[in-house]
Amino acid sequence: MKSVERENDGDSDRTRERECYRCDRDVAPALLFRIDVAPPDALADYAHSVRFCCQDCVAAMGMLEFTEEWKEQAGLV
């Protein structure tokens, strides 16, 4: 991972876009997928987790098919 200064050519005051948690690339927030994982009660040792991921990493994880419920919530159906 690069520092803010190296990533922005020494300008650490420049506003950064949100970063993909897998590849560390800066991606416009509108182009990121929100991955929200809530483990079932039986796995109470694990915490609820929300991460943001670029479309290339989503494809690499094999998450290209979405349920009909997700499509409806996104207004895609």
* Host H or E run for residue 60: helix 55-60
For residues 52 and 25, is the Cβ–Cβ distance under 8 A? Answer: no
Confidence of residue 15 (pLDDT cuts 50, 70, 90): very low
pLDDT category of residue 7 using cuts at 50, 70 and 90:
low
Interval 68-73 mean pLDDT:
69
Query: What is the per-residue pLDDT for 2?
Result: 45
The gap from C-alpha 44 to its chain's centroid, in whole angstroms, comes to: 23
**Domain positions in the chain:** 18-64
- Please give the C-alpha separations between residue 41 and each of 36, 45, 67, 76, in angstroms, as whole numbers: 16, 9, 22, 31
**pLDDT tens digits for 35-51?**
888 888 878 888 888 99
